[in-house]
């Protein structure tokens, strides 16, 4: 099953676990985690919380397992996603 959207809710503790698990989608900064622009249909580089832009192309299919693993491994449970 593919993941259609992924976003980061408030409360990221910048532990780098998500970026280690799926660096194609997640980018950890000094303050939070962001969803990479190249994997989003809107091409914006932010937490994708407000717009919840869908994932572009085949990223949602190709990286579904890694995205889910990153969400499950998040110690503060701020990574959210929608499956299709």
Structural domains of the chain, count: 1
Please provide the DSSP assignment of 29-67 as one string.
-SS-EEE-GGGBTT---B--TTT-PBBPTTHHHHTHHHH
**What is the pLDDT averaged over residues 24-41?**
97
Sign of CA dihedral 43, 49, 50, 56: positive
DSSP state of 76: T
* CATH code of 63's domain: 3.30.70.20
- Give residue 46's pLDDT band: very low, low, confident or very high (50, 70, 90): very high
Q: Is the pLDDT of residue 1 over 90?
A: no
Which tokens sit at 21? 């698990």
pLDDT at 18: 98
Q: Which of 44, 57, 40, 29 is nearest to 6 (CA)?
A: 40
Identify the domain containing residue 49 by its residue range. Answer: 3-83
pLDDT in tens, 51-66: 999 999 999 999 999 9
């Amino acid at each position: 099953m593919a993941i259609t959207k992924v976003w980061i809710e408030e409360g990221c503790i910048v532990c780098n676990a998500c970026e280690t698990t799926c660096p194609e989608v997640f980018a950890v900064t000094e303050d939070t985690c962001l969803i990479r622009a190249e994997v989003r249909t809107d091409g914006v580089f932010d937490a994708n919380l407000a717009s919840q832009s869908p994932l572009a192309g085949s990223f949602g299919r190709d990286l579904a397992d890694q995205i889910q693993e990153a969400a499950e491994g998040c110690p503060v449970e701020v990574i959210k996603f929608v499956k299709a």
